[in-house]
Amino acid sequence: MSIHYNNLNAVSRPLGAPDDVYVDCDGVVVDYLPGIAEFSHKLTGVRPDPKGPSDFQFTDWLGVTSDEEMMNIVRRFNEGEGGHFARLPAMTGVVDVLRAIHASGRGIHVLSSCSRHPKVVEMRCENLVTLCGDIFSSIICIDMHEDKSDYLSRFAPGIWVEDKFENAIKGAQQGHRSFLIRSPHNRKFEKKDARYPFTWVDGWQDLREHIL
Protein backbone atom coordinates (compact mmCIF):
# COMPACT_ATOMS: atom_id res chain seq x y z
CA MET A 1 0.00 0.00 0.00
CA SER A 2 1.25 3.46 -0.79
CA ILE A 3 -0.19 6.30 1.24
CA HIS A 4 -0.16 9.95 0.27
CA TYR A 5 -1.84 12.17 2.74
CA ASN A 6 -0.72 15.74 2.53
CA ASN A 7 1.45 16.44 -0.45
CA LEU A 8 -0.43 17.01 -3.67
CA ASN A 9 2.82 17.50 -5.56
CA ALA A 10 3.95 14.02 -4.56
CA VAL A 11 0.98 12.49 -6.32
CA SER A 12 2.08 11.39 -9.76
CA ARG A 13 -0.20 12.27 -12.63
CA PRO A 14 -2.35 10.37 -13.08
CA LEU A 15 -2.80 8.42 -9.88
CA GLY A 16 -4.36 5.03 -10.43
CA ALA A 17 -5.25 3.26 -13.65
CA PRO A 18 -8.34 3.40 -15.87
CA ASP A 19 -11.32 1.69 -14.23
CA ASP A 20 -9.82 1.89 -10.75
CA VAL A 21 -12.24 2.57 -7.91
CA TYR A 22 -11.97 5.77 -5.85
CA VAL A 23 -13.98 6.01 -2.67
CA ASP A 24 -14.79 8.55 -0.01
CA CYS A 25 -14.43 7.05 3.47
CA ASP A 26 -17.06 8.25 5.99
CA GLY A 27 -20.54 7.15 5.00
CA VAL A 28 -19.09 5.10 2.14
CA VAL A 29 -16.58 2.62 3.58
CA VAL A 30 -17.03 3.26 7.30
CA ASP A 31 -20.18 4.09 9.25
CA TYR A 32 -19.30 7.43 10.84
CA LEU A 33 -22.61 8.85 12.06
CA PRO A 34 -23.41 6.55 15.03
CA GLY A 35 -19.90 7.11 16.42
CA ILE A 36 -19.97 10.90 16.22
CA ALA A 37 -23.57 10.93 17.56
CA GLU A 38 -22.59 8.95 20.65
CA PHE A 39 -19.46 11.05 21.21
CA SER A 40 -21.38 14.32 20.90
CA HIS A 41 -24.13 13.06 23.22
CA LYS A 42 -21.55 12.31 25.91
CA LEU A 43 -20.10 15.81 25.59
CA THR A 44 -23.27 17.87 25.39
CA GLY A 45 -26.04 15.70 26.88
CA VAL A 46 -28.07 16.21 23.69
CA ARG A 47 -28.92 13.01 21.81
CA PRO A 48 -28.84 13.46 18.01
CA ASP A 49 -31.76 11.99 16.04
CA PRO A 50 -30.81 8.38 15.24
CA LYS A 51 -32.29 8.84 11.75
CA GLY A 52 -29.25 11.00 11.00
CA PRO A 53 -28.67 14.60 9.92
CA SER A 54 -30.84 16.16 7.23
CA ASP A 55 -27.89 18.30 6.11
CA PHE A 56 -24.16 17.67 5.68
CA GLN A 57 -23.56 20.48 8.16
CA PHE A 58 -24.14 18.67 11.48
CA THR A 59 -24.78 21.72 13.69
CA ASP A 60 -28.56 21.28 14.00
CA TRP A 61 -28.37 17.50 14.19
CA LEU A 62 -25.87 17.54 17.05
CA GLY A 63 -28.00 20.16 18.80
CA VAL A 64 -25.20 22.69 19.27
CA THR A 65 -25.54 26.42 18.86
CA SER A 66 -22.77 27.23 16.39
CA ASP A 67 -20.85 25.76 13.48
CA GLU A 68 -17.66 26.38 15.47
CA GLU A 69 -18.90 24.21 18.31
CA MET A 70 -19.91 21.49 15.84
CA MET A 71 -16.50 21.62 14.14
CA ASN A 72 -14.78 21.41 17.53
CA ILE A 73 -16.71 18.24 18.40
CA VAL A 74 -15.95 16.68 14.99
CA ARG A 75 -12.28 17.58 15.29
CA ARG A 76 -11.97 16.09 18.78
CA PHE A 77 -13.71 12.91 17.62
CA ASN A 78 -11.53 12.59 14.50
CA GLU A 79 -8.37 13.15 16.51
CA GLY A 80 -9.17 10.06 18.53
CA GLU A 81 -10.83 11.33 21.71
CA GLY A 82 -13.08 8.58 23.05
CA GLY A 83 -11.31 6.01 20.87
CA HIS A 84 -14.10 5.41 18.34
CA PHE A 85 -12.58 7.02 15.28
CA ALA A 86 -9.96 4.29 14.87
CA ARG A 87 -12.59 1.55 15.17
CA LEU A 88 -15.53 2.67 13.06
CA PRO A 89 -17.59 -0.24 11.67
CA ALA A 90 -17.86 -0.97 7.95
CA MET A 91 -20.88 0.12 5.93
CA THR A 92 -23.11 -2.80 4.97
CA GLY A 93 -21.75 -4.84 2.06
CA VAL A 94 -18.64 -2.76 1.37
CA VAL A 95 -16.01 -5.28 2.43
CA ASP A 96 -17.13 -8.03 0.04
CA VAL A 97 -17.35 -5.68 -2.93
CA LEU A 98 -13.97 -4.03 -2.31
CA ARG A 99 -12.29 -7.40 -1.84
CA ALA A 100 -13.78 -8.61 -5.12
CA ILE A 101 -12.51 -5.49 -6.90
CA HIS A 102 -9.06 -6.02 -5.43
CA ALA A 103 -9.08 -9.73 -6.38
CA SER A 104 -9.85 -8.73 -9.97
CA GLY A 105 -6.66 -6.67 -10.06
CA ARG A 106 -8.19 -3.20 -10.06
CA GLY A 107 -6.85 -0.50 -7.76
CA ILE A 108 -8.81 0.92 -4.84
CA HIS A 109 -8.03 4.42 -3.60
CA VAL A 110 -9.52 6.25 -0.62
CA LEU A 111 -9.88 10.05 -0.62
CA SER A 112 -11.05 11.27 2.77
CA SER A 113 -11.39 14.81 4.08
CA CYS A 114 -11.02 13.84 7.75
CA SER A 115 -7.77 15.67 8.61
CA ARG A 116 -4.14 15.85 7.52
CA HIS A 117 -2.96 15.32 11.09
CA PRO A 118 -0.58 12.31 11.02
CA LYS A 119 -2.28 10.73 14.04
CA VAL A 120 -5.68 10.93 12.33
CA VAL A 121 -4.23 9.54 9.10
CA GLU A 122 -2.70 6.63 10.99
CA MET A 123 -6.00 5.81 12.71
CA ARG A 124 -7.87 6.04 9.43
CA CYS A 125 -5.44 3.67 7.70
CA GLU A 126 -5.51 1.20 10.59
CA ASN A 127 -9.28 1.23 10.64
CA LEU A 128 -9.55 0.60 6.89
CA VAL A 129 -6.95 -2.16 6.76
CA THR A 130 -8.44 -3.88 9.83
CA LEU A 131 -11.88 -3.91 8.21
CA CYS A 132 -10.98 -4.74 4.61
CA GLY A 133 -7.43 -6.12 4.63
CA ASP A 134 -4.41 -4.69 2.85
CA ILE A 135 -6.29 -4.03 -0.38
CA PHE A 136 -5.81 -0.28 -0.87
CA SER A 137 -3.51 1.16 -3.50
CA SER A 138 -3.59 4.51 -1.72
CA ILE A 139 -5.27 6.26 1.17
CA ILE A 140 -5.27 10.04 0.89
CA CYS A 141 -6.40 12.18 3.80
CA ILE A 142 -6.96 15.91 3.40
CA ASP A 143 -8.40 18.47 5.80
CA MET A 144 -12.08 18.80 6.61
CA HIS A 145 -13.90 20.89 4.01
CA GLU A 146 -10.85 20.88 1.74
CA ASP A 147 -11.81 20.69 -1.93
CA LYS A 148 -11.42 17.21 -3.40
CA SER A 149 -11.38 18.44 -7.01
CA ASP A 150 -7.59 18.72 -7.26
CA TYR A 151 -7.20 15.08 -6.31
CA LEU A 152 -10.11 13.86 -8.39
CA SER A 153 -8.51 15.54 -11.41
CA ARG A 154 -5.32 13.54 -10.86
CA PHE A 155 -7.02 10.15 -10.81
CA ALA A 156 -7.12 8.18 -14.05
CA PRO A 157 -10.77 8.02 -15.19
CA GLY A 158 -12.51 5.45 -13.05
CA ILE A 159 -15.33 4.99 -10.60
CA TRP A 160 -15.99 7.51 -7.82
CA VAL A 161 -18.22 6.74 -4.85
CA GLU A 162 -19.39 9.46 -2.43
CA ASP A 163 -22.13 10.23 0.03
CA LYS A 164 -21.69 14.03 -0.18
CA PHE A 165 -23.79 15.49 -2.97
CA GLU A 166 -21.34 18.23 -4.02
CA ASN A 167 -18.45 15.78 -4.22
CA ALA A 168 -20.40 13.34 -6.39
CA ILE A 169 -20.87 16.20 -8.88
CA LYS A 170 -17.17 17.10 -8.68
CA GLY A 171 -16.21 13.49 -9.43
CA ALA A 172 -18.36 13.49 -12.54
CA GLN A 173 -16.91 16.86 -13.60
CA GLN A 174 -13.42 15.34 -13.39
CA GLY A 175 -14.40 12.56 -15.79
CA HIS A 176 -15.27 9.70 -13.46
CA ARG A 177 -18.35 7.49 -13.40
CA SER A 178 -19.77 8.96 -10.24
CA PHE A 179 -22.15 7.35 -7.74
CA LEU A 180 -23.91 8.93 -4.77
CA ILE A 181 -24.99 6.67 -1.91
CA ARG A 182 -28.40 7.73 -0.61
CA SER A 183 -28.05 9.10 2.92
CA PRO A 184 -30.24 11.18 5.25
CA HIS A 185 -28.14 14.29 4.57
CA ASN A 186 -28.39 14.11 0.75
CA ARG A 187 -32.05 13.08 0.46
CA LYS A 188 -33.14 16.69 -0.01
CA PHE A 189 -31.38 16.77 -3.39
CA GLU A 190 -33.35 13.86 -4.80
CA LYS A 191 -36.15 15.51 -6.70
CA LYS A 192 -38.13 13.70 -9.34
CA ASP A 193 -37.27 16.13 -12.10
CA ALA A 194 -33.64 16.80 -11.17
CA ARG A 195 -30.93 15.53 -13.50
CA TYR A 196 -27.47 15.06 -12.06
CA PRO A 197 -24.23 13.78 -13.62
CA PHE A 198 -24.05 10.88 -11.16
CA THR A 199 -26.08 7.76 -10.36
CA TRP A 200 -27.99 7.40 -7.08
CA VAL A 201 -27.46 4.03 -5.35
CA ASP A 202 -28.83 2.36 -2.24
CA GLY A 203 -25.59 1.27 -0.64
CA TRP A 204 -23.14 -1.38 -1.79
CA GLN A 205 -25.65 -4.11 -2.63
CA ASP A 206 -26.99 -1.79 -5.30
CA LEU A 207 -23.60 -0.40 -6.27
CA ARG A 208 -21.96 -3.79 -6.86
CA GLU A 209 -24.02 -4.38 -10.02
CA HIS A 210 -22.69 -1.15 -11.47
CA ILE A 211 -19.01 -1.56 -10.70
CA LEU A 212 -18.05 -5.26 -10.43
Which residues here bind Mg ion, judged by CB under 5 A? 24, 26-27, 163
Residue 26: strand, helix, or coil: strand
Q: Determine if the peptide bond prior to 14 is cis (ω within 30°).
A: yes
Residue among 20 and 163 whose Cβ is closer to Mg ion:
163
**Whose CB is nearest to Mg ion?**
27
Q: Which is nearer to Mg ion, 18 or 188 (CB)?
A: 188
Least distance (Å) between residue 133 CB and Mg ion: 21
| Residue ranges in the chain assigned as alpha helix (H) | 33-44, 59-62, 67-78, 94-103, 118-132, 149-154, 165-173, 203-211
Residue number, 193 or 202, with CB nearest to Mg ion: 202
**Shortest Cβ 26–Mg ion spacing (Å):** 4
Taking the least distance from each CB to Mg ion, the nearer of 20 and 24 is: 24
Q: Give the nearest distance from C-beta 150 to Mg ion in angstroms.
A: 18
What number of residues does the chain have? Answer: 212
**Least distance CB 183 / Mg ion (angstroms):** 8
109 strand-pairing partners: 22, 138
Q: Find the DSSP H helices in 136-190.
A: 149-154, 165-173
Give how far Cα 191 sits from Cα of 175, 186, 188, Å.
Answer: 24, 11, 7
Min separation Cβ 130 and Mg ion, Å = 19
The nearer residue to Mg ion, 138 or 186, going by C-beta atoms, is 186
Residue-by-residue DSSP string for 106-136: --EEEEE-S---HHHHHHHHHHHHHHH-S--
